[in-house]
Structure 1
Amino acid sequence: MKDRSSHDTGGSKSREKEASALSAVTLIADGMIVGIGTGSTAAYAIAELGRLVAGGLDILCVPTSYQSEMLAAQQKISITTLLEHPEIDIVLDGADQIDRNLVAIKGGGAAHTREKVIAHAASKVVLMVDHEKVVPGLDHEVPIEVLPYARTLVERGVRALGGIPELRMAARKDGPVVTDNGNFVIDADFGTIDDPARLSDELNALVGAIEHGIFLNVDEVHIGTSDGVKVLKR
């Protein structure tokens, strides 16, 4: 399976992530409702939004995890909820992998269920990545949030679809990762994914699976490279 760690030991990769985030944040304007994702690249975007808010930018943010909520609060960014603002102007988020058709795999931070909810509530979905995340064909394992009660059923369903399921274990606690929603995460390795839309439909049909990490509705991606930021649009 591919390494899903978000830990970045390379300075160049960190610079590319930050550059992509700074580029994406230029899309934000006064009065917007902004969905903010989870992970290391999203953290750069939150920090930049905080700087702009301190300078007078007037926005409300809908976080997708406890992590992004705490970071936004630290930056004194006004936080709201999907209940209060069901229509979001734009969402800024990272990705584990994305292809040239702007189909992404997300969920390395186990926040993909809320991230997908926010993405479908948004008028525009913008992802921010370093250049290594852009690939000709998706082959990253697909995170699937599952009801703990249904874990073995979902694992059986993944195997029937040709995948290899692995329950994600926690790094600094005993036992499995538990999401902000109180569920488990199965990482499913399907090798190279030739038809992401079909696999998305098949995973949606698995009873006990809450949500998976294939995102089909990305509008724009900002890619940090050694030569600056490249932008791909649908």
Structure 2
Amino acid sequence: MTADEQKRVAAEAALEHVKPGMKLGLGTGSTAAHFVKALGAKARREALDFLCVPTSQATGALAKEVGLTVTSLDEVPHLDLTIDGADEIGPHLNLIKGGGGALLREKIVAFASRQMIVIADESKVVPHLGNFPLPVEVVPFGARATGDRILEAGKLYGCEGALSLRTDEYDEPFLTDSNNLIFDWALGEIPDPDGLGTYVSRLPGVVEHGLFLGLAHAAIIGRADGTIETLKR
């Protein structure tokens, strides 16, 4: 199976955890898109209705396209379940997320949910976090100075690596749905995710980082041989 096929079967397996009438958080990215499409098909096939809170404008548009009912956390502040992808799944189901640029809204929605289930292909399961560059969302004002503080924080936790400003397809600074910037931090390995995450979160100018620690309750992994593996925290 290709990586995309692994994502699809993981997304379809996640439907088993969705019950009628649930309030759902919908993640962002290629893997989450597979789930949104599968959920839309299930809702049509079984005449079900779900209240769905998307984590990005793109996911919201896709959810509406497949016939799902889209709402917001202002209308529905407590969710039953969030299904989302991940860029890395490390020990204890700690994650790196944000490759799709929606880490802030993804984390807000995850915190508002009773449970979070991650879906992914087998390449996303890693022995330690950090090989995928860690996204850090920052406000545009003073971004360079904020970047310097981020690098200094890394040295305190045994992390050193290049920090690059994410750009879009036109080589312009990438803007999140909240009109913030993203630094991608190439670390290689993060020895102390909890310590680094806590410290970086306190830096003025930092909006959010892509370390999702202690949030995922389970991960559904599609394997190359066509099987599904469920990891639990």
TM-score using structure 1 length: 0.93
- The residue that corresponds to 1:136 in the other structure is 127
Match for 1:70: what amino acid? A
- The residue that corresponds to 1:12 in the other structure is 2
Structure 1 counterpart of 2:34, from 44, 50, 53: 44
TM-score using structure 2 length: 0.93
- 1:116 and 2:116 matched: no
1:63-74 mapped onto 2 (5 Å cutoff)? 63-74=54-65
Note the residue ranges of structure 2 that are not aligned, 5 or more in a row.
Answer: none
Partner Cα separation in structure 1 for residue 185 and residue 149 of structure 2: 11
- The residue that corresponds to 2:19 in the other structure is 29
Partner Cα separation in structure 1 for residue 7 and residue 52 of structure 2: 21
- The residue that corresponds to 2:183 in the other structure is 186
Could you tell me how far 1:190 is from its partner in structure 2?
A: 2.3
Question: Alignment partner of 1:231: what SS?
Answer: strand
Partner Cα separation in structure 2 for residue 229 and residue 113 of structure 1: 29
Could you tell me how far 1:180 is from its partner in structure 2?
A: 0.4
Partner deviation per Cα, 1:42-84 (whole Å, 9 max, x = no partner): 0100001110111212211000001100100100100111001
- The residue that corresponds to 1:156 in the other structure is 148
Partner Cα separation in structure 2 for residue 166 and residue 226 of structure 1: 32
Alpha-carbon RMSD across the aligned residues, in angstroms, is 1.1
Whether the aligned pair in 1 keeps the contact of 2:168 and 2:174 (CA below 8 Å) is: yes
Match for 2:198: what amino acid? D
Structure 1 counterpart of 2:202, from 182, 202, 205: 205
Partner Cα separation in structure 2 for residue 66 and residue 180 of structure 1: 7
- The residue that corresponds to 1:224 in the other structure is 222
Partner deviation per Cα, 1:176-220 (whole Å, 9 max, x = no partner): 101000011001122211111111101101110100000011111
Could you tell me how far 1:100 is from its partner in structure 2?
A: 2.9
Whether the aligned pair in 2 keeps the contact of 1:35 and 1:118 (CA below 8 Å) is: yes
Partner Cα separation in structure 2 for residue 221 and residue 100 of structure 1: 12
- The residue that corresponds to 1:165 in the other structure is 163
- Report the identity percentage: 37
Question: Alignment partner of 1:138: what SS?
Answer: coil
Could you tell me how far 1:174 is from its partner in structure 2?
A: 4.0
Structure 1 counterpart of 2:52, from 61, 64, 70: 61
Match for 2:222: what amino acid? G
Deviating beyond 6 angstroms after TM superposition, the runs of 4 or more aligned structure 1 residues are: none
Whether the aligned pair in 2 keeps the contact of 1:158 and 1:188 (CA below 8 Å) is: no
Note the residue ranges of structure 1 that are not aligned, 5 or more in a row.
Answer: 1-10
Equivalenced residue count is: 223
Match for 1:26: what amino acid? E
Could you tell me how far 1:226 is from its partner in structure 2?
A: 2.2
Could you tell me how far 1:90 is from its partner in structure 2?
A: 0.3
Question: Alignment partner of 1:101: what SS?
Answer: helix
Partner Cα separation in structure 1 for residue 20 and residue 34 of structure 2: 19
